[in-house]
Structure formats: C-alpha cells, structure tokens
A and B are shown apart, each in its own frame.
Chain A
C-alpha cells in the first residue's frame, strides 16, 4: 500500500531542505510553517510514519460501530469488528478509488461503496461486487483486493493510535514518559476508564499545525491570551503560569511535553482545586474516588489531570481532549471534546458545561488561541525577521529526578523538545 501516498509528487532526496539549517536549538526558520514542500515532507516523514492518534475505543463501543477519522490527509475508517477488535482502514474503494463511507459515524458490519456497489467487511475484506461474471465469477479477484489496512494499530488507556509504517518503534516506545500522563487521566475515573463520548467540535483554523502543537504547552501565553476567561471565571489557574510559580514545563522526550502544575496543587493541598472547585461541591464523585482508591484518593484528587501534548496531534488539557488535523502548510482543523470519566456522572456533566464555555461556538478559550494562531500564520509569512525565537528559559533548564528536561512554568522547554524530535524525523533516512 502507498504508505507515503500523500497525493503529492514524490520529492527527490537531493531537493529536500536542509532541516539542520532551519531548526536550531533556540530558533526556528519561518519557512517550516509556510513552505508547501516542507508540508509534503512532513506528511511522508511524520504523519505517514509515526504513531498518530485516531480516536478513542469508546467511540466504537459496539461491534459494527464505526467513525471516520484521519491520519494526515488520509481519510480513515475506525471500526469495531465482530471479533471485538478495533480496525483502521483507508476509506478508498479498491475498484475506482471512491470514498466508501460518507457518514461520520454509524453501525454497519459491512460497507457498500455507493459508486458500483463493491461491498466489504468492516475488517477490510472484499465480500463481493455486482454482476461478478464480468470478473470471471465469484472468488476470482476478491482475495487480492481489499480496503487498505493501516499496518499498525495499538491502544493505550483506550486511546487508539495508527501508524502507516509497517515497522518502527512500537506504541509503548513512542509514548514513552507520556504514557503515565494518560494513566493519570484514567485514574481520575472511579472505574479507571476514560471515555470520549461527548461528541466532537471541529474548528477549521488558518494556521500551520505546528503552531498549535507548540502552543499547547506554552505556559508563557495564558496570562495574556486567556486573561479574559480567567477573570470572568475567577479561575486560580492563570496565576500558576508565572515566573513565581512552582509549576514546571517538562519535555517528555519524543516530542511530547507537559505543563506540570502539580507542585502548585500539592502546595495548596486542596482536593479538586485543579478543577476550580472543592470536593464538597462534587460529593458523589469524591465518595466514589475514595471508595475506589482508599487513602490514595486524596493525592489523586489534589494532583488532578494532566496537561500534556502527545506528538504529533493529541493534546489532553485537563478536562478536554484536542486533536490536530493538518490540511496544508497554512491550514488545519482542531477537534475538541470534553473528557468523560467512567463512573463519574456528576463530574462529567460539569466537564461538558465547562468545555462548552471554553471550546464551544461561543467559548472563550479556543477562540482566543485560534485568533493567535491565525495572526501568527500571517506574521510568519512576513519577510523579516526570518526566525522565531525559542530561547526562553534555556539558561535555567535542568534535568529532573526522572532524567527529563524541565524549565519554569513559562519557559519554552516543551517547544525545544518538540523541535528536537521533529528534526530527528525530518532529517532521518
């Protein structure tokens, strides 16, 4: 299958940009956000090679359930087979290349292409086609034609990832230190399970996907960009992104990064402060957590949820999950949904309403960020200065007890980790 099938004309190796000259330790050249050739290169070397988040197992809970999702520009069907397993298929008929599925979600154990009626199992096998005498009868070509399968599919805490490369690091290696942040999210459920069942909002954004990935753990912007939502809601979170904060920005390796606010929450020692509330306001949830976790519940409720960007497209922002879908050098889609925790209906309702307020059509958080992304995309197209500066906090970085690089709450440590990994993928063989 065309694992690098970006639809672009293949680029000769000799014509590829010298990424070492575009990406330095403390600055990045503007062209990496604007050049269509670099975007095509990213599709081949990042999106069609590394592990990419495609959806959550809870989105296809029943056998026959399917959703449409993407890996880079590829339209992907995520389906649960009657065997209970999750399958990832490219949404392209083996006959004439038509899209097979049109609906964003549904329940069907087989798919029938609307063009000529070729019919497939939801695991990809071709069942048959109309008027089969034209192909010499039944059982002649079915075995050689199927929906293309994404070669590697793996789950962690129900988060489903696909890789279009048949070989490479496995998902555990790719996630590395970021895996424990997904664990941290799951343990906030009294049943230990995350569900992404609240539905997705989609925001088309005229900006390069990397501006979003970098911003997700940029602790420098919240006090400026999000000042309005912090003041309206009386949130204590804004103050945690300052030079006085004990919070840290941590590069988790492999391009992943986090804003770790736990040092501040531990100092406060108040359960549910991370959620902007107190335990007595969510009594059923607190009781369920204490029943499930015993004495450990206090620490879990104090430390709260992660704020982690998982390279290249999954961002867990405490109570919301964002997914970045690239469209071109200058455009992407942000998908967002409220986290739902199994066994926590009281908290789930609040997470949905908070998400409506932050990322809904009239929400204040995502709209503010998106305004910055789109202004940023216009800015990086200007001729000079040619570089984006990445040096904030470089001189005060250190290695923590886990061997990971950390900086202050407002430092650009996460971005530097992102670019280091990006460079390793883009300049590799």
Chain B
C-alpha cells in the first residue's frame, strides 16, 4: 500500500478547519481523482499528501512509514510531484532540468552521473519529448513544459505520481492526452493522485474518486459510485446531469445551467 491516510485534519492559523476528516488508502497502480469546489481545500489536502504542508492531526503512512518522520530524500523516492506551473528563471536545457529529478540520489557535494542522465533521457523518451532534450526550457511551449515536469517526476523513479490540476493550462486536445498518459502511468504500475475541476476526468479515469465538500469531509469510493448527480449537485451547487452519450458509449457530466439560445 502506497498511501494510508487516516483522519486528516488541517486548519490555517486562526481559521476554521479546512479539512475535517480525510481518510483513504491507495494501492500500487491505483488512480485517485480528487474533486471539489473552489476554496474547499483541494490544494491544501493535496499539499498535505505531497509533504508540502503538515496536517494538524491525523496521519499519513507513506509506503507504511509515517510521512512526518521521513526525510525529504526518502519522500522524494516514493512520490513524484507535478505542480501546475513552473516559473523558469534560468534557461536550463530540458535534459538538465529533468535530471534535477535525481536530486534524492545525488550526494551532497556531487553532481549527476552518466547513469542519472540515462534515467532522465529514458523519461524523456517515455513521454515522447526526447527531441527537446537540448532545447532551453524557456523556449518550449506550455504543453511541452508540462511534459518536462512529468518527465522530471518520472526521473525520480517514484512509486506514486501526484498531479495538481494537470490540465488547467492545457487546451482541449492536450487535456485528453494527459488523461491517456495518466492511464498509461497506471498500467506501468505507478499510483496516481490527481486533482481536477472536471468530473468527466474522474469518470474517464475510473479507479477511485474523492469528493472534498465544503465541510472538509472527503468522500472516497469507486469513481462510478462517487461521481453521481446526487453527489455532484450539492458539491458544485449547480444543476448538472450525467447523461449517456451513445456515440461514445460512455457517460458525460454536463451542466444544465445555461439553455441554448
């Protein structure tokens, strides 16, 4: 078991609890999609899972060990984190940037070896961006940067990959490609946790889905049981429908808020 999260609570100093009760488990090769309205604390929960924030109470067992007792190196060998955006300051080449994923394996006064370079190159090949290896990171497109960030996470050789709203800066077509990639990662045995604003993503990915409501309670279960009209309507305070699309042979979540003109 990669994640065993027990009764997580979190509050910002002087504020009410953002997260009241979050518990779930995640196995190898499992996907968890986290949904929730703006401001519900999705990012906060995600940051707790990524070891960026410490929960107020409760426990996260990462690969069976309490995460708060693990060093940053130990955590980085289990979790690869893909943030929404990366602001580049210096024009490192893509391969150099991706090689930084080896940090947990490089000694204090050392630098990456040939072996580390090979691992980074493999990650670039996996994502189909090896032709960008020697290109400056500042000169590639937003979609390519997203790929480079995922490649860097793979270079950590982690067992779980955390993606924070990976589609938020991507166009329609590329968003779908990211979902395909997430499935591919799952089939390669990675556990994946992903936050998103689009319930369709949870339905397409299957696996587990989690809804974080405004009271800070996390509802976790199989995607097809959790992502339902009854659950989503109060969550988003929106009249939405989950309808069958016969042409595609699957269901889709659509808003009924606006009528066609």
A joins B in a complex: no
